[in-house]
Amino acid sequence: MKRPLFLPPQGYRQRRLRDVARLLPVMALFLIFLPMLWGEETSDLRQTGSDGIYLFLVWLFLIVAAAIIARRLSDEADAVKPAPPPPVKGPR
């Protein structure tokens, strides 16, 4: 039996969303450690105010991104989920 060349769109989208969900923690680590690379080479002083605002915005972005991904994954899982079988009535 020949397998189709392309996946159905719903299954493909759900797999890509799962991939994004797996990459979100890696992206979070990169974005959180990024301010360490911004420091000036000539000085040990850091501008903690701008770093704090940046980290808060990254944190907020990660929360929103995780919520959107989780909602889309749960919506697609509900759409793909088959209906439960009817209850079996036994003798009483």
Q: What is the pLDDT along the chain (92 residues), one digit of tens a residue?
A: 677 666 666 677 888 889 999 999 999 999 999 888 877 777 777 778 888 999 999 999 999 999 999 999 887 666 655 666 677 776 76
Degrees (nearest 5) of the Cα angle 81, 87, 89? 165
Amino acid at the residue 38 = W
- CA dist 35 and 81 (Å) reads 43
Model confidence, pTM: 0.67
Calculated CA dihedral for residues 7, 9, 10, 13, nearest 10 degrees: 90
Rounded CA separation 59/65 (Å): 10
Asked if residues 76 and 13 have their Cβ atoms less than 8 Å apart, the reply is yes
For the record, the structure tokens of 61 come out as 């972005």
